[in-house]
Amino acid sequence: MFRLLQWLPLLLLLPPPGSPEPPGLAPLSAGAPPQAPDLLYADGLRAYAAGAWAPAVALLREALRSRAALGRARLDCGARCAAEPGAALPASPGPDSGPGAARGAWEPLLLRATLRRAECLTQCGARRLGPGGAARLRVGSALQDAFRRREPYNYLQRAYYQLKKLDLAAAAAHTFFVANPTHLQMREDMAKYRRMSGVRPQSFRDLETPPYWAAYDTGLELLGHQEAALALPWLEEALQESLAQVESCRAGCEGPEEQQKAEEEAEGTGSPGGLYEAIAGHWIGVLRCRQRCVGDTATRPGRSLPVPDFLPSQLRRLYEAHAQVGNLSQAVENVLSVLLFYPEDEAARKALDQYQAQLGEPRPGLGPREDIQRFVLRSLGEKRQLYYAVEHLGASFKDPDPWTPAAFIPEALREKLREDREKTPWDHEPPQPKPLTHWKDVLLLEGVTLTQDARQLNGSERAVLDGLLTPAECGVLLQLAKLARAGVVGSQGAQLLLEVSERVRSLTQAYFSPDRPLHLSFTHLVCRSAIEGEQAQRMDLSHPVHADNCVLDPDTGECWREPPAYTYRDYSGLLYLNDDFQGGHLFFTEPNALTVTAQVRPRCGRLVAFSSGVENPHGVWAVTRGRRCSLALWHTWAPEHGEQEWTEAKELLQEPEKEEGEGMPSRDPAPEPPSHRLQRVQDKAGKPPRVREEL
């Protein structure tokens, strides 16, 4: 009873059953100072564990709002106090000032301004956040990570579902899933919500993603449709909101959480020294945090890597769009802003010359955008201090920006950074042109026919090749799949598996990458069987639409080459072993994962080969009768990611034979008896060939 009374005030704040709730996070208790987010979140989880769904919703929502209010207060108070006359930091002493003058005049001004700024921030925080201000609402690192992963929405979606608020449950589920696209349970929950009759399509809205991403994506989409005039307002909004998000992030760098993080990092390293050493250490931490803010802003929810060159790339699109619609003055402003980041950028310089020639007479007042100029100058000033700390104080700093001028980097670090930047990662190198004579000669030599090329498959970097296996060889590999499930394999099947995988590799290299060696990265046998029950009208997939070396985002059409994807995979292949089943066709789609561009029917000896990136999203329809088996292979340009087990198995199979009668596979598809030698091979290798049985 006491617990119910404790939660009663929050229950009164919930909307009545069935009433619509506005999107976003409007304050529940207008005018009241926010409560501590960590305490609210902990109470919300306790209510959730007790099955008290309504109090859990109220507490979790209030925790989210409290954290948002804390961020807004820090941003507003920081801007207000920075403008206070008495809290302005003094300029550094001039070069003509002697040591005594500098210490006597400049140091007291600095410390006095610091005290005034601290007083202003304390008073502003108390007015906005209640007694204790921001210190009372400090959010620990564990809780910050939970909010960053949007874990409250995982609990909210279940609680809303229990309260029969399906629209809100779908919104919370979608919000969590956007930041956790590999969460399998939430993927299943999302599919269930989409099948529920009471859930509307507009319910799947993201309650957390900053608005600049929607503007950014809309602008890019309109540019792709050659609608520059319509794209310009969206692109400008995206840039302005991106800069605002950077400022919000920078305000958080001065919070107590960053100081706590710095103290945790300093544990075990001894005393930070005296007053000035401690001030310098804290200031270095703040500067490092500020420098990370552009990367944080450029990272989409659920991604681990930022959009490269986020701000300069937006400026490039802006000047190109302005030029297309005839706004040459604005085009010049934006191209000059790009040159602040990259003064030697040839494309920007060429565009600037072209726009200035079209404008005619010089316009003295035309210069870079003021907001970008302020951003660059401030960022360079912070970089200068950080590199000074690296050189003279032993601090660490990983510069997130490729545009930092070399003059700012200490000579000792410059050479190493230059080498790192000049190293082009193998997994970002574009494929080289493929002379046709190479693969035609190889196909003729192997007796293989090209059945469909990329044009016939309505895509790029994809092909269907027939004749890689005889029916007898298909039978041997099918038997190998059956025996491997029992943990026993014969040398005949294993030898054929190695030969066929090398055959596929050589053909894939000859067709797609004749001038650059490919290495087998992963090989396995996979069999998919039909489930029992009614098969009519089945539209489900045995393998959902995906790309093999990047995380596909169907909503934006982008594919993020980062873990958990196997980023080192460059080409993929499926070699089919049978066709005595129904369903199970491979299909390619557009990056939206919905528009099917081509389908391939399996048959013995048919290879479907394609590049592993976003240009080839693909899936597999469910098998509706029988059992489909295939050999799946992935290839890489990187030798360090070559399949070591394949090499070890090949070496073991080349050992002198002790048993007689084992050799090349015959045309008779009948299975061979289990081989004692292959049992020894299996023991040495540590595991049998990969085979997987799936529904």
What CA–CA distance (Å, rounded) separates 32 from 9?
13
Gap between the Cα atoms of 594 and 512, Å rounded: 27
Residue with tokens 């399996």, as numbered in its chain: 602
Is the Cα dihedral 555, 556, 559, 561 positive or negative? negative
Angle at 267 between CA 262 and CA 268, to 5 degrees: 145
Q: DSSP assignment, residue 389?
A: H
The residue among 264, 25, 287, 294 whose CA lies nearest residue 140 is 264
* Dihedral pair phi/psi, residue 43, rounded to 5°: -65, -35
**Residue in 391, 393, 395 with CA at minimum distance from that of residue 414:** 391
Nearest to 513 by CA among 571, 467, 464: 571
Note whether 150 and 174 are within 8 A (CB). Answer: no
The residue annotated as part of the active site, out of 250, 288, 561, 628, is 628
What is the distance between the alpha carbons of residues 59 and 7, in angstroms, rounded to a whole number?
9
Nearest to 554 by CA among 503, 614, 605: 614
Which residues, 6 or more positions from 174, have their beta carbon under 8 angstroms from its beta carbon? 190, 203, 204, 205, 206
CA–CA dist 471, 605 (Å, integer): 8
What is the C-alpha to C-alpha distance for residues 522 and 358, in angstroms, rounded to an integer? 56
Which candidate, 597, 600, 593, 592, places its Cα nearest to that of 572?
Answer: 600
Contact present, 102 and 62 (Cβ < 8 Å) = no
Token output for 274: 């005296």
649: nearest Cα among 444, 463, 497: 497
Per the annotation, the verdict on 628 as an active-site residue is: yes
Residue 185 main-chain phi, psi, to 5 deg? -65, -40
- Token pair of 600, please? 């391939």
Residues contacting residue 91 through CB under 8 Å, at least 6 positions apart = none
- Per-residue DSSP letter, 342: -
Nearest CA-CA partner of 289 in 322, 334, 326, 254: 254
**Which residues are tagged catalytic?**
628
